[in-house]
Structure 1
Amino acid sequence: MTRKTHYVVGGEYADTGFTAIAPGKVLESHGPFGEKEAYDYWRMITGRTVDNALVRYTIQDETDAELAVWYVVGGEFADASFARMAEGRPLEIYGPFARKEAMERWRAITGRTVDNALARYTVEQQGEMDLRRLAGG
Structure 2
Amino acid sequence: MKRYWVVGGEYSDTTFTRFAPGKDEVRVGPFGSYEEAQKAWSGRAWATVDDAHSRYSILTEEVGAAAPTRYWVVGGEYADSTFTVPAAGKTLERLGPFATAEEAQKAWSGRAWATVDDAMCRYRIEIEQTAGNG
Range of TM-score over shorter length: 0.3 to 0.5
TM-score where L is the length of structure 2 = 0.46
TM-score where L is the length of structure 1 = 0.45
Structure possessing the higher radius of gyration over alpha carbons: 1
Which of the two has greater helix per residue?
1
